[in-house]
A and B are shown apart, each in its own frame.
Chain A
Amino acid sequence: MYDTGKILAGIIIFLGAITFPIWYDAVTGKAATKPEPKIITSEKQCVESATYMRDYHMKLLHQWRDQVVRENMHLYKGIDGKTYNISLTNTCLNCHSNKKDFCDQCHNYVGVNPTCWNCHIIPEEKG
């Protein structure tokens, strides 16, 4: 085989790079801590179930966005039969006002940076 040395070196570097997430924690002990979003809401039930929200909150927000802005539908019938005013800042963040301890916990962990906050105002944290 030509260039055996270079090829073997390349393979070793490649394997090391691609398994980085696996060995980094074992070597440095610097694992990212598991996210623990804190729920401080007074309400016991969100507009949909917790499992649904965990999986599909972004999809729901897209539906909300299009329904309010483009279809002028301002109310949403939640899973509990209650009607909610569709608003990220004034409904979602009204309950989940602790963005740093709730939304950001998981978002930072997975490296997600939603651009909603460029426009939608983050209300002051309530304790």
Chain B
Amino acid sequence: MDNSKRNFLKIAGFSLLGIGAHPLKKILASKEEPKFLPPPKALPGKRWAMVIDIKKCKTDCYDCINACHQLHNVPNFGNPKDEVKWIWKEPYEKVFPGEENKYTAEYIDQTLKGIEFLLLCNHCDNPPCVRVCPTKATWKRADGIVMMDYHRCIGCRFCMAACPYGSRSLNWRDPRPFIKTINKEFPTRTRGVVEKCNFCSERLAKGLMPACVEACKEKALVFGDLEDPNSPVRELLRSHHSIRRKAHLGTMPQIYYIV
């Protein structure tokens, strides 16, 4: 190559380096002390779980469902196809399929008066939904909560296919027109992303119990830290036999039912 062309390229290269130095200066000059801080009043739990004492539940009571769905701007599309739900009720044979026959059903029908069971995301310890998500839009937090990042979800619905409990809902349409009263303290979601119960992580950060737990007048929902041997959830699990949905699949669900 001709000498002057070489020089030109050298100068051009150095100039580019020089232009690149400016953002580098900004990075190096940044402060050292942390700018992001954990929430100070957050509930100190290491492994969150919920125990549902179904005997305390009342038929035709939807307080927990209404509290959750109102707080989190969960839309009501009015048809089962587009339905979005974070917490809902189903009869025993749907919650524990294959467990029932007509003799055992007498306990549910007559002793429990046909009570329906509450269903929500189980926040499994070995969640198949987290395993399959291609963008880590859903992941398992250190404190046990299976979280959703609605900004990152691409709406592939692999997590919906993977969940053995039917806990997840896609927004098949824009949810905004279908939210009766928008709670301004919490965002809505947009069409095309999957959502589910988040164990009220935003309330836990403020030192509050999940909305469903607080709303239940019968105290049927008990939320607590499994790693604290004195927590209410541990006390209940110690003193009562409990069952979980499809535990044999190895998902290690963390919603325990006292039947």
Q: How far is the CA of A94 from the CA of B99 in the complex (A)?
A: 53
- Is the interface on chain A under 10, 10 to 19, 20 to 34, or 35 or more residues? 20 to 34
18 contacts between A and B (CB under 8 A): A70-B139, A72-B42, A72-B141, A72-B201, A73-B36, A73-B37, A73-B38, A73-B39, A74-B38, A74-B39, A74-B205, A75-B37, A77-B33, A89-B187, A118-B190, A119-B189, A120-B187, A121-B182
Q: B125: shortest Cβ distance to chain A, in Å?
A: 18
Tell me the nearest residue of chain B to A124, going by C-beta. B184
| B93 on interface, CB distance cutoff 8 Å | no
Q: Is the CB of A76 closer than 8 A to any CB of chain B?
A: yes
Which B residues lie within 8 Å of A75 (CB)?
36-40
Distance in angstroms between the alpha carbons of A118 and B182 in the assembled complex: 13
Kindly identify which residue among A63, A71, A83, A123 contacts B184, using a CB–CB cutoff of 8 Å.
A123
Q: Judge whether A69 and B36 touch: CB under 8 Å.
A: no
Closest approach, in angstroms, between the C-beta of A119 and any C-beta of chain B? 4
Q: Closest 9 A-B residue pairs measured CB to CB?
A: A118-B190, A74-B39, A75-B37, A73-B36, A119-B187, A67-B36, A120-B187, A77-B35, A69-B149
CA–CA, A75 and B38, complex, Å = 6
Q: Which residues of B contact A65 (CB under 8 A)?
A: 151
- A70: B residues at CB distance < 8 A: 139, 147, 149
Residues of A within 8 A of B34 (CB): 77
Q: Interface 1/0s, chain B 236-249, versus A by CB < 8 A?
A: 00000000000000
Task: Map CB proximity to B onto A25-65 as digits: 1 under 8 Å, 0 otherwise.
Answer: 00000000000000000000000000000000000000101
- Interface SS of chain A: mixed
**A72 in contact with B205 given A119-B150, A119-B190, A123-B184 (CB within 8 Å):** yes
A91 beta carbon closer than 8 Å to chain B:
no
Whether B188 sits at the interface, judged by CB under 8 Å, is yes
| A-side contacts of B189, CB under 8 Å | 119
* CB neighbours of A74 from chain B (8 A): 37-39, 42, 205
Residue A108 at the chain B interface, CB threshold 8 Å: no
B2 within 8 A of A: no
Which B residue's beta carbon lies closest to that of A60? B35
Contact residues, B137-193 vs A (CB, 8 A): 139, 141, 147, 149-151, 182, 184-185, 187-190
Q: Which residue of B lies closest to A75 (CB)?
A: B37
A76 touching B37, Cβ below 8 Å: yes
Could you tell me if B149 and A72 are in contact, using CB atoms closer than 8 angstroms?
no
Give the residues in chain B near A76, CB-CB below 8 Å.
Answer: 35-37
**Nearest CB of A to B78, in Å:** 21
Q: Which interface residue of A63, A71, A72, A90 has the most chain B CB atoms within 10 A?
A: A72
User: Which residues B10-65 have CB closer than 8 A to chain A?
Assistant: 33-40, 42
